[in-house]
Amino acid sequence: MGLGLAGLAAGPCAAGALSISIDTSALAGANGRLDFTLLDGDFTANNSVTIANLTTNGVPSTAAPTTTIDDSAVLGQFLWDFTVGTLVTFDLSFTTDFAGGAPDRLTLNLLDAGTNLTLVDTELDFLSDPVPAQDALLLVDLANGGQVQVAKRTDPPTQVTEVPEAGTAALAALALLALVMTSKSRRAQPRAV
C-alpha cells in the first residue's frame, strides 16, 4: 500500500533536496526515458520540483538543463531520453506544501523511449492510491519535508541510491558528535550516592 497519511499536517513546509544515483548497468544500451511526473494530490497548485545536474556515466547531459515542473496544471512532467549507460545521477529539490487530503507526488519511472512501457519492474506499485504510481524507481510525497521511497526490489537489478547531500551529511556528523560529547559529559559527573 501507499504511504500512510496519518500524522500529515496541512500547511506550508520546508523544502527538500536529495541526490539520486541509479545503477543502470543491467539495461546498458537500451533507449531509455526518465519520466519525472509530478501529480497534484491536494487539489492545490502549491508545489514544484527542480531536476538538475543530470549525468549519465558521470558525464553531464547537455540535453537536460535544470528543469522545474509544478502542479499548476495538475500534471507536471519532464521526460529525458538517453542511451542507458551504467549510471545515472541527478539532484532534486522540491517544495513540500500540503493543503490536506493526499500529498502531491513526484514519481520517477525508467521507460522504453519508444513504447513508454517500463524497462524496470519494481515493488513501488500503488494502483489504488489517491495518486497512483506503477513500477516507480522513486517516489517523493511532497509533505512533511518530503516522504521519500526508493525502489528496493527491481527487475532487472537497478539499484537506486539516495545520496545524502553534503550539507545534510555535515549536519548528521555534527549531531552525532554532539551526542557523543553529551554522553561523555554525563559519565564525567559524579554519581549521586
Partner 1 sequence: MIDHPPKSLSTRLSRTLAAVALAALVPLAWGANHREAPLTAIDTKADITDWFAFVSYDNPTKVTMILNVDPLLQPSNGPNYFPFDPEVLYEMKVDNTFDGDEDVRIQFRFARPEIRLPGVFTGFVGVGAGVSTPANSPPPVAPGTPLIPAAITALDGPGSEGLSLRQTYTVTILKKVGTTWTTVFTSGPTRLFAVPANVGPRTMPSYDAFARQGIYSLAGGIRVFAGTVDDPFYIDLGAAFDTLAFRSGASGVGVPGVLSDAQDADDTRNFASDSVAGFNVNTIAIELPITMLSRDGAIHPASDPLATIGTYATTSRPRIKTQPTTPGGLPGLSTNFVQIQRMGNPLINELLIGTGDKDKFSMSEPKNDATFASYLLDPLLARVINAAYGGAVAIPTPPRLDLLPLVTYAPPIAATGTPAGPVADLLRLNTGVPATAKALRKRMGLLAGDPAGFPNGRRLSDDVTDISARAVVGVLNPAFNVFPNKRIGDGVNTNDKPTQETFPYVSFSHSGRDSRKVDPGEAGCFAVLPPFAPVSCPIN
State yes or no: residue 63 binds partner 1 (CB under 8 A): no
**Residue with Cβ nearer partner 1 (19 or 110):** 110
Give the residue, chosen from 14, 28, 59, 74, that forms a contact with partner 1 under the rule CB under 8 A: 74
**Residue with Cβ nearer partner 1 (118 or 144):** 118
Number of Cβ within a 10 Å radius of residue 119:
22
CA pair distance 93, 98, nearest whole angstrom: 16
Tell me 126's DSSP state. Answer: B
Is 35:118 a contact under the CB 8 Å cutoff?
no
Stretch near partner 1 under the rule CB under 8 A, chosen from 36-44, 46-54, 158-166, 176-184: 36-44
Nearest distance, CB of residue 79 and partner 1, angstroms = 6
Return the biggest CA–CA distance within the chain: 76
Give the residue, chosen from 3, 22, 34, 39, that forms a contact with partner 1 under the rule CB under 8 A: 39
Number of Cβ within a 10 Å radius of residue 177:
10
Give residue 159's Cα distance to chain centre: 14
Build a one-symbol-per-residue string for 99-138: x at contacts with partner 1 by CB under 8 A, - elsewhere: ------------x---xxx---------------------
State yes or no: residue 43 binds partner 1 (CB under 8 A): yes
Give the residue, chosen from 40, 42, 135, 141, that forms a contact with partner 1 under the rule CB under 8 A: 40
Nearest distance, CB of residue 74 and partner 1, angstroms = 4
State yes or no: residue 28 binds partner 1 (CB under 8 A): no
Burial 61-82 (b: 16+ CB within 10 A, else e): eeebeeeebbbeeeebebebeb
